[in-house]
């Protein structure tokens, strides 16, 4: 029997239904693609994805990162320890800000759709939950390569071209 990762997606605030009609599927498929690419395949993982408006994200960004502005995606790794292959490991939470994501799509994603941009941000966020970062160049190169590879598997064009 194949294991099923638990990926919980919910709309906290914002009109995500109008912006992305298949928001639940887009987020779940993107997170699942990262887990299948990077996570131990015989171990259950749990990820929570919260879709919100910029005001909600700005509060979190100020509280947890000291930056009083909205952003596209925030990742909150749980720092979970793998106890047993039969128990789910909660990897953490991802929060996306609607207005910032829409603005980025209009300004920077000329060859891709809003759906593709959300795929990219979910992939990016889940990689953060797994410990990847982009603070130094070598780590950024590794993370960018993995994002591109996973997005290609999802049929999404390279966001860095």
Q: How confident is the model over 41-96, as pLDDT tens digits?
A: 667 889 999 999 999 999 999 999 999 999 999 999 987 555 555 556 889 999 99
Q: Which two tokens stand for residue 11?
A: 């709309």
Read off the pTM.
0.91
Measured N-to-C along each axis, helices 137-153 and 23-38 cross at an angle, to the nearest 10 degrees, of: 120
6-153 has which fold? Collagenase (Catalytic Domain) (3.40.390)
pLDDT band at 12 (very low <50, low <70, confident <90, very high): very high
Q: For residue 4, give Cα distances in angstroms to 28, 37, 47, 88.
A: 12, 14, 12, 10
What's the confidence (pLDDT) of residue 115? 95
Is residue 55 within 8 A of residue 13, CB to CB? The reply is yes
Q: Which two tokens stand for residue 59?
A: 């509060």
Q: What distance in Å separates the CA atoms of residue 118 and residue 122, rounded to the nearest whole number?
A: 6
**H/E run at residue 116:** helix 114-129
Break the chain into its structural domains and give their ranges.
6-153
């Amino acid at each position: 029997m194949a294991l099923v990762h638990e990926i919980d997606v919910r709309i906290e605030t914002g009109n995500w239904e109008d912006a992305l009609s298949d928001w639940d599927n887009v987020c779940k498929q993107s997170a699942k693609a990262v887990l299948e690419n990077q996570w131990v395949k015989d171990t259950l993982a749990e990820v929570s994805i919260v879709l919100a408006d910029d005001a909600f994200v700005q509060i979190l960004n100020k509280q947890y990162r000291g930056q009083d502005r909205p952003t596209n995606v925030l990742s909150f790794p749980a720092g979970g320890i793998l106890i047993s292959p039969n128990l789910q490991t909660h990897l953490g939470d991802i929060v996306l800000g609607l207005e910032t994501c829409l603005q980025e799509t209009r300004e920077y994603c000329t060859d891709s759709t809003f759906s593709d941009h959300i795929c990219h941000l979910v992939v990016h966020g889940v990689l953060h939950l797994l410990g990847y970062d982009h603070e130094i160049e070598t780590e950024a190169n590794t993370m960018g390569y993995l994002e591109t590879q996973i997005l290609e598997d999802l049929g999404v064009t390279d966001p860095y071209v």
